[in-house]
Amino acid sequence: MSASRLATLAALLAALASTAAQAQHANFVLFGSNGQPADAQPEDRFVHPVTSPYFHEDSFVTTDVRAWYAYQRFDGDSLINGGKAQVAAVQLRLALTDQLQFVAYKDGYTDFDSGLVDDSGYNDVAAGLKWNFLQNWKDQFHMAAGIGYELPVGDPGVFQNDQEMRFWYSVNKGFGPLHLGGTLNYHLALGDDDEAPLGNSDQISWHLHADYWINRYVSPVIEVNGYHVVNRGVESVPFMGADVANLGGGGDVITAGAGVEVRPVDDLGVRAAFELPLTSDPDDLYGWRLTFSVVYAF
């Protein structure tokens, strides 16, 4: 790893350590938190992110399982000649204390079918820790920081085998039934160039969220996601991997999604969103995406 990237890693780790040192004492919970105090109002319930599920992380410490499925059509004019991909995965979040959460955010299986690639296989696996260093339920204001690591154990035929550290900060603010959120990620690629045939660029991604609590059963959701290369390494292909894989280069990708969460019972959220790109890079392959997910809190 180059000296500049080592310096970046050291600075990010120092920032996380400073945040943790300044945090309040965390009470031991061990898997028993639903993320809200007992006297919270029903309209205080924030919807967890729906789109970009690998990297869009809110500030709440909960214990829940999130199963999701994405169907994506690629641009027919792109270099991979259109086609589609289907991804299914399960995420696990465990409240270790009332401020510390274990997050298993990437795994699953991808079926890729396009003019360039026709393959299927398992995704890389990634997990980390999230520290909720600010919890203000009265003013509906929350902030958190996290660190994660992606193991390059996936099948390369579906654009996997990324090895990276991920650092993120998130903020959430409520205004009665209106809930806003944002997440900023820095993805630090690891390994040498010859160990990253599909790319190894450092990237930044950001994610914006808004939901509105209509009643106990339904909340509409709007989200915007952005992906940007900041330190190019190996550029195997000229398009961005967005939230699927680090392909080493490509232009910026920004997407917007609209969806809804339906809650048939208190601890279960059923969600869906439709997503389109806002950017128009000629090499962009994003196309459009449908994301479905179920969140069960316990």
Contact yes or no for 131/17 (Cβ under 8 A):
no
CB neighbourhood size of 83 (10 A): 20
Integer Cα distance of 252 and 227 in angstroms: 6
Q: Note the pLDDT of residue 285.
A: 75
The residue among 233, 269, 251, 240 whose CA lies nearest residue 5 is 233
Q: Note the pLDDT of residue 158.
A: 74
Residue 205 class from Cβ within 10 Å (0-12 exposed, 13-18 middle, 19+ buried)? buried
**285 backbone φψ class: left, alpha, beta (φ>0; ψ -120 to 50):** alpha
Domain covering 3-297: architecture: Beta Barrel (2.40)
> What residue spans define the domains of the chain?
3-297
Tokens representing 209 are 């969220």
The residue among 157, 161, 165, 90 whose CA lies nearest residue 124 is 161
Q: Note the pLDDT of residue 81.
A: 65
- The beta strand positions in 96-162, using DSSP E, are 100-106, 109-114, 118-122, 125-136, 141-151
Q: Residue 9: helix, strand or coil by DSSP?
A: helix
- Please name the helix (run of DSSP H) or strand (run of DSSP E) that holds residue 187, with its range, or none: strand 178-189
Q: Note the pLDDT of residue 23.
A: 47
Task: Write out the chain's pLDDT in tens, 298 residues.
Answer: 555 555 555 555 555 555 555 444 456 555 555 567 767 788 888 999 999 999 999 999 999 999 999 999 987 665 566 788 899 999 999 999 999 999 999 999 999 887 666 788 999 999 999 999 999 999 999 999 999 999 989 888 777 777 899 999 999 999 999 999 999 999 998 866 556 666 678 999 999 999 999 999 999 999 999 999 888 777 766 677 788 777 777 788 999 999 999 999 989 999 999 999 999 876 667 889 999 999 999 9
Q: Which residues pair with 88 in a beta bridge?
A: 69, 109
Q: Note the pLDDT of residue 277.
A: 93
Integer Cα distance of 254 and 232 in angstroms: 19
- The beta strand positions in 42-108, using DSSP E, are 64-73, 83-95, 100-106
